[in-house]
Amino acid sequence: MKKFGTFQGVFVPSYEAILGAVLFIILPGLVGAFGLKDMILIVVLANTLTLATSFSIADCTTNLENVGPGGMYAISKRSLGRAFGGSIGIQLFIAQAASIGFYVLGFATALQPILIQIPLVQELVAQFGFSVLVQTQIIATAIAIVAFFSAIIGADFIVKIQMVIFLILSVSIGAILITPLLNFKVDSEPVFTILPNLTGNAQSALILGGFWAGFAAFFPAVTGIDAGVGMSGNLKHPRKSLASGTFFAIGITAAVYLTITVVFSFVNPETLQPTKEGLPYILDIFTLKAVPFIYILILSGILFASGSSALSYFMTAPRTAQALAKDSILPRFLSFLAKDFTAKGVEPRRATVFVFGIVLAVTWAGSVYFASLIVGICFLLVYGWVNLAAFLERISGNPSFRPTSKGHWLISLYGFIICMVVISLFNIWIGVTLIVLQIIIFIFLLKFKTKNRLEGVWWGLLFSMLNWGFKRMRRIIQGSKNWRPIVSVFCMSDKIDESESTLDVGRRLSSYQGLTMVNVLKPQKSGEPEYFIPEGSQIVESPEDDFDNAILSILQASVPGGFQTNTALLPLDPRINNINVIERIVNMQKNVLLYKHGILRAPESRRIDIWWKGEENGNLMALLSYIINRSDRREGKPVKNVRLIRKLFKGEDREKAESDLNRLLYIARLAGEVLVIDEDDKPINKNIEEESSDAILIMMGMPGQQSGKVVRLFSLNKLFFTKELEKFRNLPPTLFVKAYRTMELFE
């Protein structure tokens, strides 16, 4: 495949696409309707958007070693990932294909008045009763067929044609610029006035749809940079050529548009008013009778410029479709777009045939003005997303983003915001529809093409946002009002059922506004875990299976972002010295949850039993049961009923105990009930077996003794602790809870 340089590959296609149908067909009527002041504003605003987009393109391309085929799609994909970049690529492809229809209609608009002078054509029109619009569409279809076969031949052939067109177009523009000096007349009336038309015609502007509709109709002019950017896969040095060629094209064409807008503002306003036949265009001003030589030059410019623009997009649109198909962005039934007619061919000829079908649809949808609106809105949306991509790259702070361009995130942000604002001001419903369509495509690609995994800049962007938030979180005191579980879960790699159950408890404790850090303790002689380990978990191997020190070291390790583990969930396993570990963790000012796996005697149970012995551990248990219920509700699981159970001691008042527990349920906002057990001679473990054997989860305070008046001072006796836990062997899954401080449930 032949590779092109900056001038032939980027500047010429962009120059010809920008100075195409809009300049000759759309601009004169817009100047007549809106006047010099508004049109200067439209031209400047449109070019600032293109300039901002060019800076964004330069930021992204100069950061890449190899841009690859697809133009703006390739840039978006690298920055935003396949899912979001692919959704942009699809809309870009639609905009490029629609542009061809717009340009062939522009070509036909200039050619129709000439062809209608031919007697044979007049007879056919009279016989079939074709309107001017239908005549234009028939001519446009014929031109589209010619452009289609030129594109089938290949890019090298089109580039050679474009060099000839470049010269003819430049001469034609020069002819327009010298017309005010000729002082010619049409029907004895001077074409140019002494004073410029500053304000236009309010009625004509209203007919066209107002200022923002005029902007949208003009915008396809400046979207011509895409014709050059779309050649990214055919350039010798895309990193350099895309940026320099695009900026050069914008600078020259912006000056041309501003100058010619001034020239048109001196044209007699009556000549430039829209009629029922449509917008006046440049050959309505410079007629063959008045200035034959200038007329021929301008007509040549219109025909060659419109034809060249159509050819440019017949190169870029199929290449975008080919890139989308190769990246598996498009549905499987469109995968043929990635291939040529022959097995060894590299040209996107099958995609060219597909594009041709879209071109015909746009050509027969309406007039050249209507087509310009479609193209303008589509490109506004694409340019907005490209600017967003560069903006996110800049603010993400990714070390991999090292562009050599001197852009700024404010430039890209400006481009994104203005594109979206213009779409909304033109027609809010069109804007909403396009954005919703974008989101639908994005969700579809995310689900079916990337397996719900975002790619590109998003990780760095979220990291920067989180880092910003972490720094500010350090200045905020975490009290009972904003407490949430940050749980370090520990489980054994060789205990399948127990570990799966422990992980489930940890997940339910943290899935509602909390965090879980899973640590799988792996004995040296055991194999890899045979159960599912959550993403982000770490497998911990400790020398000589010293799990106690491993647990304590992990809990004392610093956590990025300033987070501190406030709760440890431990399995009841003989290889862990619970006495030593629990005391040390409590002294670190962290809550301890010791989980004993048990057999569910009533799997259908929807009840959590909390055995209450006081606020010291009871408040934390009530809060944890609330969190578990919220987690289950969020996942669509049945909400658990909470039962607060308390056994009376000698001399305690039953009514007061029930009142206190009911108040606790109310304060903790728990849906549940209260059970008060009268004093008896049975040990507490027997009471628990009798009342809670059918619960799905039991919570109770951890056996131990408070040492001193401060809650966090806690001591365990190994013999006592082991004997106590042994009493609860036959219970369902149980959480032994030790809070390092009394949680406040109500402030």
Q: Which residues of 10-47 are buried (b: 16+ CB within 10 A; e: fewer)?
A: bbbbbbbbbbbbbbbbbbbbbbbbbbbebbbebbebbb
In tens, the pLDDT along 252-274 reads 999 999 999 999 999 888 888 76
Q: Is the predicted pLDDT of residue 526 greater than 90, yes or no?
A: no
The tens digit of pLDDT for each residue in 541-583 reads 887 788 888 888 888 876 666 677 889 999 988 888 888 888 8
Name the β-bridge partners of 515.
486
pLDDT at 277: 59
Distance CA 107, CA 101 (A): 10
Give CA–CA dist 633/480, Å, rounded: 23
Contact residues for 525 (Cβ-Cβ < 8 A; gap 6+): none
For the 6-448 domain, the top CATH level (class) is mainly alpha
Instruction: Provide the mean pLDDT of the chain.
Output: 81
Q: Do 50 and 223 form a contact (C-beta atoms < 8 A)?
A: yes
User: In what helix (H) or strand (E) does residue 738 lie, and over which residues does it extend?
Assistant: strand 734-738
CA distances 403 to 234, 247, 400, 518, 668, Å, are: 21, 16, 9, 39, 54
Residue type, 353: V
> Which architecture, in CATH terms, is 480-597?
3-Layer(aba) Sandwich (3.40)
pLDDT digits 0-9 by tens, 75-124: 777 767 778 788 888 888 888 888 888 888 888 888 888 888 888 888 88
Query: Would you say the CATH fold of 598-747 matches that of 6-448?
Result: no
Cβ-contact 380, 423 below 8 angstroms: yes
Token pair for residue 603? 């799997």
Q: Which CATH number fits domain 598-747: 3.20.20.70, 3.30.70.1350, 1.50.10.10, 3.40.50.620?
A: 3.40.50.620
Q: Residue 438's pLDDT is what?
A: 79
Most confident of 59-63, 142-146, 604-608: 142-146
For 433-449, how does the pLDDT look when each residue is reduced to its tens digit (9 = 90+)? 877 887 888 888 877 77
pLDDT in tens, 334-343: 888 888 877 7
The residue type of 137 is Q
- Say whether pTM exceeds 0.75: no
Read off the pLDDT of residues 12-27 as tens digits, 9 standing for 90 and up.
888 887 887 788 888 8
Highest-confidence segment of 202-216, 288-302, 553-567, 683-697: 683-697
Confidence bin at 240 (pLDDT 50/70/90): confident
- Every domain of the chain and the residues it spans: 6-448, 480-597, 598-747
Q: What is the pLDDT of residue 713?
A: 43
637 sits in the region (left: phi over 0; alpha: psi -120 to 50; else beta) called beta
pLDDT top residue among 495 and 401: 495
What is the reported pLDDT for 315?
78
